[in-house]
Chain A
Amino acid sequence: QTVVTQEPSLTVSPGGTVTLTCASSTGAVTTAYYPNWFQQKPGQAPRPLIYSTSNKHSWTPARFSGSLLGGKAALTLSGVQPEDEAEYYCLLYHGGAQPWVFGGGTKLTVL
């Protein structure tokens, strides 16, 4: 069974920079995994942030960026704002019998 792993929790100070990562049990994540990143606040539907590794949606704030880092997908927040406190999920494409798998989510605290 394919497992996608994220940091369970991270804490960052306002104005700081933080990187969240997303790893696959199948091996190094590449662009062929089409990483998507989502932000979710309590009681709300997930909000898309990044698709295809590093592409932003028209509503994605400039402080969010996506990349590949050390065999993982990564989401970097630069100049963190208090409103960025949320749960962040990655989604990876694996094809085959289990095409898409979400990570377990990272709870980001801004303190």
Chain B
Amino acid sequence: QIQLVQSGAEVKKPGASVKVSCKASGYTFTYYPMHWVRQAPGQRLEWMGWINAGNGDTKYSQKFQGRVTITRDTAASTVYMELGSVRSEDTAVYHCARADITTYGIDVWGQGTTVTVSS
């Protein structure tokens, strides 16, 4: 079945970088874009960016521009999200989510990765 399995929880100090992975299975990886979405404790969902898994094109939220990088490894069917210069406000659960390239429908979510930023 279609699955997105994310890497485990991370604890980082302020100023560090964090890289979260999202391994896809059960479908043709390059056919579907992947979003990254985060949710701080008790807060709304927040869109961070997405990648065309076929050609690697990316687009980021203005809020994270310059601090976030989304990449993919087609051989490993894995998408990565790296967030740099983290601060306490970046403490959140980070999700990957698969989208359909024609309908833009999001249909599968990763289980989420908790990132905690603390000195």
Residues of chain A having any CB pair with chain B under 8 Å: 1, 34, 36, 38, 40, 45-48, 51-52, 55, 57, 89, 91, 93, 97-105
Which residues on A sit within 8 Å (CB–CB) of B35? Answer: 100
A101-B47 CB under 8 A given contacts A34-B104, A48-B105, A52-B105: yes
Q: With contacts A51-B106, A93-B104 known, is A100 near B44, CB below 8 A?
A: no
**Tally of contacts, chain A with chain B, CB under 8 A:** 65
User: What's the dominant secondary structure at chain B's contact region?
Assistant: strand
Q: How far apart sit A91 and B37, CA to CA, in the bound complex (Å)?
A: 11
Contacts of B73 in A (CB 8 A): none
Cβ distance B10 to chain A, nearest Cβ, rounded Å: 18
Partner of A51, one of B47, B103, B112: B103
A-B pairs, 9 with minimum CB distance: A51-B105, A34-B104, A100-B47, A45-B109, A102-B45, A52-B103, A105-B44, A99-B59, A104-B44
B46 near A91: Cβ-Cβ < 8 Å: no
| Residue contact B112 to A45, C-beta cutoff 8 Å | yes
